[in-house]
Homo-oligomer: A and B are copies of this chain.
Amino acid sequence: MELYVNFNLPKEAEEELGRYYKIVKGGDLSGVEVAFVYRLSPEELKKMPKLKFIQVVLAGLDHLPWEHIPPHVVVAGNAGSNADAVTEFALGLLLASYKRIIHYSEKMRRGDYDKNLEVPLLQGKKVAVLGLGEIGIRVARLLAALGAEVWGFARTPREGPWRFTSSLEEALRGAKAAVCALPLTRRTRGLIRYEHLALMAEDGVFVNVGRAEVVDREGALRIVKERPRFIFASDVWWGRNDFAKDAEFFSLPNVVATPWVAGGYGSEEVWRKMVMDAVKNLVAYATGGPVRNIARRDDYL
């Protein structure tokens, strides 16, 4: 079976896949039945009329040209492969912001030693976790272990050490902190608007480690400008990797920004793990084993 790969594979991945597939890296793709991709263009799709299965190395699938993918082609994502890394980062962004570590560390560098800002306890406080996928569940469990009153928001009920709600308003009302780990789908694009963020505590901390586009950009900008004690901490930005487009945010003292480094983009080690997890799924496809992370087409179209 021919496998098209359009990004640099680590050697161990190439060796493993070579046992099950004939790897094709370009040229004539007319015999390709399976594609292992990072991004995928409509032009590449056109060259693969026999395509049956697309394995994406990233956890998110929002960037695929869905309208060009025929309905019979199965698409698998890679959720979970970077979940541990992103969970660590999400908890780091939350605590660095919530415990005012960023604030105080910037002040200490400037030689300003005033203890001018209260460092609140997280224990016993309402914290919303938006999205109960591989990342959200892990984050919610750790927050519960820290003693926070965790509210889990998702489309489908999931049990755990949190109060479940399918109402975004209920999750955010009065919350001292929120961690967003929602996937970007047609249902979540622009879901979190100004009026939702405004439901949080005046000095609330909103953390995003999912996709920027889940949050309405103007709503986020308005809340941080209106509420100097509110903190917006995010690893993902609307300009994607063109961070200059969102520079307006980065200069604000109550914005904590990192350049999309929570998962595979920030770490060779995590990237390698992501590739190898995806390789396992490709081997499962080739050998008739159970294939994980199959996308729901109607989430995107």
Point out residues on A near B: beta carbons under 8 Å: 84-85, 87-89, 91-93, 95-96, 98-102, 104-109, 111, 113-115, 118-123, 141-142, 145-147, 243-244, 247, 250-251, 256-262, 265-270
| B88/A122 in contact, CB under 8 A | yes
Least Cβ distance of A136 to chain B in Å?
16
The 8 closest A-B pairs by CB, nearest first: A92-B95, A119-B266, A96-B96, A108-B257, A104-B258, A113-B243, A92-B99, A108-B250
CB pairs A–B below 8 angstroms (6 shown) = A85-B119, A88-B121, A93-B101, A104-B257, A105-B256, A113-B243
Q: Which residues of B contact A268 (CB under 8 A)?
A: 118
Least Cβ distance of A267 to chain B in Å?
5
Determine chain A's interface SS by DSSP, over half rule. helix
| A105/B267 in contact, CB under 8 A | no
Q: Which residues of B contact A93 (CB under 8 A)?
A: 101
Closest to A107 in B: B259
Least Cβ distance of A228 to chain B in Å?
16
Residue in B84, B95, B104, B107 whose CB lies within 8 Å of A88: B95
Residue in B115, B258, B259, B262 whose CB lies within 8 Å of A266: B115
Distance of A122 Cα from B250 Cα, bound (Å): 27
Distance of A151 Cα from B96 Cα, bound (Å): 24
| B92/A259 in contact, CB under 8 A | no
| B88/A123 in contact, CB under 8 A | yes
| A244/B95 in contact, CB under 8 A | no
Q: Which residues of B contact A141 (CB under 8 A)?
A: 145
| A105/B142 in contact, CB under 8 A | no
Distance of A183 Cα from B100 Cα, bound (Å): 24
Closest to A270 in B: B121
Q: Which residues of B contact A123 (CB under 8 A)?
A: 84-85, 88
With a 10 A CB-CB cut-off, give which of A99, A102, A109, A111 has the most chain B CB atoms.
A99
| B102/A96 in contact, CB under 8 A | yes
Closest to A123 in B: B84
Closest to A104 in B: B258
| B262/A119 in contact, CB under 8 A | yes
Distance of A255 Cα from B24 Cα, bound (Å): 48
Residue in B88, B98, B101, B259 whose CB lies within 8 Å of A113: B259
| B84/A91 in contact, CB under 8 A | no
Distance of A87 Cα from B91 Cα, bound (Å): 13
Distance of A247 Cα from B84 Cα, bound (Å): 36
| A269/B120 in contact, CB under 8 A | yes
Q: Which residues of B contact A262 (CB under 8 A)?
A: 99, 119
| B244/A105 in contact, CB under 8 A | no
